[in-house]
Amino acid sequence: MNPMRWLIVTADDFGITSGMNRGIIQAHREGILTSTSRARSR
């Protein structure tokens, strides 16, 4: 019997650039991401 395995995929720094945001949003829509982290404001 094989135990179920999970892969957690996190996208870091959401909010840093519009290009990065588009990539993160696309990955989320395609079901690739399981979480994201927001970029810290300076």
Q: What is the pLDDT of residue 42?
A: 63
Total domain count, the chain:
1
Q: 23 — phi, psi (to 5°)?
A: -65, -40
Q: What is the pLDDT of residue 32?
A: 94
Q: What is the pLDDT of residue 2?
A: 73
Residue range of the domain that includes 17? 1-42
Residues 31 and 7 sit within 8 Å (Cβ to Cβ): no
Tell me the per-residue pLDDT of 1-42, one tens digit each, with 9 for 90 and over.
678 888 999 999 899 999 999 999 999 999 999 999 988 766
d(CA 6, CA 13): 23
Locus of tokens 């994201």: 36
